[in-house]
């Protein structure tokens, strides 16, 4: 825990500005992957999750550009607004199961996303919103001004938000509340028969997940400075699903491992140029074939080998 925070703090000191940007995005995607998993613990494959994230990005961008809100106000409010969007989506979603859930969530997401595409005001139509300002600088007396338009301070801002978000989601995951969510995915009939109001808990999970997705949207929008409807299409969400599949969803660390693995892999494969998608895809399929439980299942699979090896060494 302390070690990983120390590593997170140390990382930007060793990276060029471009890679600080990659690391910043990575941290945002970690929040996003875990927020998706939180909804998924109740069994909800919410295909509208990226669009919900977009709601946060659009809300914050419009508030800052058109209404002059400061970033520090628009960040939490955007989270709450997307939680409300999640609440609205969650009522029909809580009544859907399996295939209907997939299609239902996709349809609701597209309904929102395509209205951004069609409405020039206030969403900017297909071109989206450009020149989204970065958070304003902090000037604390007797200290150098912290200018969040620079990659370095923005990384630390995102890191702070990520640590708080992960802390909250971890507590939920480890508590009785997290077990209640998981019991619904495991056996919804049994959970219901034990008196658990499964519809209410499914809604709660969507609301919490949407809050954090909205936060991700704000961080991403202000980082890139521009957003448009294509950013929040189904394609990127499918890539997120691939990360989750590779990392695994049983444990809290699975999505983190998957996201880190693929973001770093994508960067490492950059020199391959035109061959990159092919290699990237092959690695993904290889992991799915040979590690059906994801990377998180690796220690459990490796440990018998290690034991056997140890025994053999001791035998000699």
**In the chain, alpha helices (H):** 2-10, 17-40, 49-66, 71-94, 98-118, 151-174, 176-186, 188-193, 198-224, 234-247, 253-268, 276-290, 298-315
In angstroms, the CA 294 to CA 252 distance is: 13
- Looking at the Cβ atoms of 40 and 64, the one nearer to other proteins is 40
- Looking at the Cβ atoms of 271 and 299, the one nearer to other proteins is 299
Spatial contact of 12 and 23, defined as CB atoms under 8 Å apart: yes
- 304 scored as a contact of other proteins (CB under 8 A): no
Interacting residues with other proteins between 196 and 235 (CB under 8 A): 196-198, 204, 208
In angstroms, the CA 222 to CA 166 distance is: 21
- Looking at the Cβ atoms of 175 and 277, the one nearer to other proteins is 175
Among 11-19, 52-60, 152-160, 192-200, the segment contacting other proteins (CB under 8 A): 192-200
- 97 scored as a contact of other proteins (CB under 8 A): no
- Looking at the Cβ atoms of 47 and 205, the one nearer to other proteins is 205
Min. distance of Cβ 37 from other proteins in angstroms? 15
Min. distance of Cβ 168 from other proteins in angstroms? 5
Rg (CA), the chain: 21
Q: Name every residue whose Cβ is closer than 8 Å to that of residue 54 and which is 6 or more positions away in sequence.
A: 112, 113, 116, 217, 227, 229, 231, 232
| DSSP string for 54-98 | HHHHHHHHHHHHHS---HHHHHHHHHHHHHHHHHHHHHHHHT--H
In angstroms, the CA 315 to CA 99 distance is: 54
Min. distance of Cβ 314 from other proteins in angstroms? 28
CA 10 from centre of chain: 23
In angstroms, the CA 316 to CA 313 distance is: 5
Q: Which two tokens stand for residue 258?
A: 């998957």
In angstroms, the CA 71 to CA 60 distance is: 8
Min. distance of Cβ 299 from other proteins in angstroms? 16
Spatial contact of 21 and 267, defined as CB atoms under 8 Å apart: no
Q: Which residues pair with 129 in a beta bridge?
A: 227
Among 107, 194, 238, 272, binds other proteins (CB under 8 A): 194
Min. distance of Cβ 187 from other proteins in angstroms? 5
- Looking at the Cβ atoms of 192 and 267, the one nearer to other proteins is 192
- 76 scored as a contact of other proteins (CB under 8 A): no
- Looking at the Cβ atoms of 119 and 190, the one nearer to other proteins is 190
In angstroms, the CA 109 to CA 13 distance is: 39
Min. distance of Cβ 175 from other proteins in angstroms? 4
Min. distance of Cβ 207 from other proteins in angstroms? 9
Among 86-94, 126-134, 171-179, 218-226, the segment contacting other proteins (CB under 8 A): 171-179
Min. distance of Cβ 86 from other proteins in angstroms? 14
Interacting residues with other proteins between 242 and 271 (CB under 8 A): 250
- 168 scored as a contact of other proteins (CB under 8 A): yes
Min. distance of Cβ 186 from other proteins in angstroms? 4
- 95 scored as a contact of other proteins (CB under 8 A): no
By CB under 8 A, the count of residues binding other proteins is 26
Interface positions with other proteins (CB under 8 A): 168, 171-172, 175-180, 182-183, 186-187, 189-198, 204, 208, 250
């Amino acid at each position: 825990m302390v070690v990983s925070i120390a590593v997170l703090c140390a990382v930007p000191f060793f990276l060029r500005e471009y890679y600080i940007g990659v690391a910043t995005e990575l941290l945002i995607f970690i929040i996003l992957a875990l927020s998706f998993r939180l909804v998924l613990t109740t069994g909800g494959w919410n295909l509208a999750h990226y669009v919900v994230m977009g709601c946060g990005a659009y809300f914050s961008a419009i508030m800052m550009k058109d209404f002059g809100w400061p970033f520090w106000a628009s960040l939490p409010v955007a989270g709450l607004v997307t939680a409300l969007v999640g609440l609205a989506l969650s009522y029909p979603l809580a009544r859907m199961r399996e295939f209907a859930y997939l299609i239902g969530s996709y349809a609701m997401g597209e309904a929102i996303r395509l209205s951004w595409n069609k409405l020039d005001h206030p969403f900017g139509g297909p071109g989206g919103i450009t020149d989204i300002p970065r958070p304003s600088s902090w000037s604390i007396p007797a200290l150098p001004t912290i200018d969040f338009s620079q990659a370095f301070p923005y990384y630390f801002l995102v890191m702070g938000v990520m640590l708080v978000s992960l802390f909250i989601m971890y507590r939920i995951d480890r508590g009785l509340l997290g077990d209640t969510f998981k019991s619904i995915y495991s056996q919804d009939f049994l959970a219901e028969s034990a008196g658990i109001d499964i519809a209410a808990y499914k809604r709660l999970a969507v609301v919490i997940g949407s809050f954090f997705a909205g936060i991700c949207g704000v961080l991403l929008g202000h980082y890139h400075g521009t957003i448009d409807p294509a950013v929040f299409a189904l394609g990127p969400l499918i890539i997120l699903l691939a990360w989750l599949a590779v990392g695994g969803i049983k444990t809290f660390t699975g999505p983190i491992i998957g996201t880190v693995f693929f973001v770093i892999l994508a960067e490492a494969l950059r020199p391959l140029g035109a061959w990159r998608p092919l290699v990237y895809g092959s690695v993904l399929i290889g992991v799915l074939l040979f590690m059906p439980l994801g990377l998180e299942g690796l220690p459990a699979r490796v440990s018998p080998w290690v034991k056997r090896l140890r025994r053999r060494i001791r035998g000699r």
